[in-house]
């Protein structure tokens, strides 16, 4: 099982990312949002750094794209 090279947390306990060839958890890695460049610990399920604001923006984007298919409904 992969684990963080710095603190040893396993992939079952944290999101691990590849940082300069090292496997690190998102708490140990210095992450920068893929979209806006803000330093962030937040990642997508896929392990890409994405700050909260951009995750929300992306979710909104996906929801408006899915709206045509009438799938998920609105949880507001
Ligand atoms: Zn760690
Ligand atoms: Zn961002």
pLDDT for residue 6 is more than 70: yes
CB 1 within 8 A of CB 16: no
pLDDT at 46: 82
Instruction: Quick: pLDDT tens for 8-57.
Output: 999 999 888 887 888 998 888 878 899 999 998 888 888 788 999 999 99
How many angstroms is it from 27 CA to the middle of ligand 1?
A: 6
Q: Which secondary-structure segment (H or E) carries 60?
A: helix 52-66
pLDDT at 69: 61
How many angstroms is it from 39 CA to the middle of ligand 1?
A: 16
Taking residues 60-71, report their average pLDDT.
76
How many angstroms is it from 8 CA to the middle of ligand 1?
A: 6
pLDDT at 41: 84
pLDDT at 35: 94
């Amino acid at each position: 099982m992969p684990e963080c090279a710095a603190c040893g947390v396993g992939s079952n306990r944290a999101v691990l990312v590849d940082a300069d060839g090292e496997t690190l958890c998102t708490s140990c890695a210095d992450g920068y949002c893929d979209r806006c460049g803000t330093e962030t610990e937040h990642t997508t399920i896929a392990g890409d750094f994405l700050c909260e604001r951009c995750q929300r923006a992306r979710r909104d984007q996906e929801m408006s794209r899915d709206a045509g298919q009438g799938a998920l409904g609105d949880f507001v």
